[in-house]
Structure 1
């Protein structure tokens, strides 16, 4: 486990992010079934039967110091998805926010806006990151639009970056927010939360 990325809980009004554990698997399986996101060929969301392996792999990445995975709990106390810091680079103070997915019933609500607000604040204000990345599939237009709405800027496209489970090649779109942009991005996110926070994927 990385000394830089230590498990913690991040809490807001609409969402709580808590350290992922095997105990979350049954609730995550129910969340994954809501909307059947795993059927979208351009996502990496686990199917309900794949959640236990998904959690174990995330925790192995945490043990290697590469990630810090969270279970996402809504304001009613239900587990509704997962997210994580990943591709952590402590030496260069960079991290990616990724592997984010939610049950359909909480998509495009204030929950995601606040979750990103919490993760970005911790990255820039506690971890001292100089940049935070977001990556998504070229064909996941909804995700690309949601990342841009956060205030991230597109850095470029990594062509044939990954081989997907179905054998297709993924072109990965890379976005980032750098430290000097964070105060403006933070104000934008706070304003959206004041307005109800709706509109995210």
Structure 2
């Protein structure tokens, strides 16, 4: 894996950081953006799943580097719209928790799924995450600014997962693979802890 292949997505994600500085009360759209941006960042369940999507994409490499994060963000936006509109989606919390367990497991087991299958899996989980973000949108915020906020935060967490995969990969074939699998295992155990109420 070459750093050059990751540079563009990471650079694009980092350009979004200055916008977060405007995210505080009293600044109209920035207020909605701040709430949206903060929502994925303040829940351990969302953070773990988003980072694992990035690590999974790194493990698969090639087209998956962009396909998985872009699919997740795009489908999550649709899920967010469902949540904002009050459409009922069953088993949202369970779906979110299972996403951590499943994504952690595929990373821990180094599953080499076809890109189409991997995007379908992350797309399914994205519906639940997006719905949770949309359903919990404060009434005082604008929907578009809020949605842009949680989509950007999610993209940054995916980029962090890609960066983590690249950093771990620099340890070398043996140690890097072991460390990456350990990271997936930690996420899976944390997901089980959340599911059982221990975390």
Interval of TM-score (by shorter of Structure 1 and Structure 2): under 0.3
TM-score (norm 1): 0.26
Q: Which has the higher contact order (CA 8 A, sep 6+)?
A: 2
TM-score (norm 2): 0.26
Structure with the higher fraction of residues in strand conformation = 1
Structure with the higher fraction of residues in helix conformation = 2
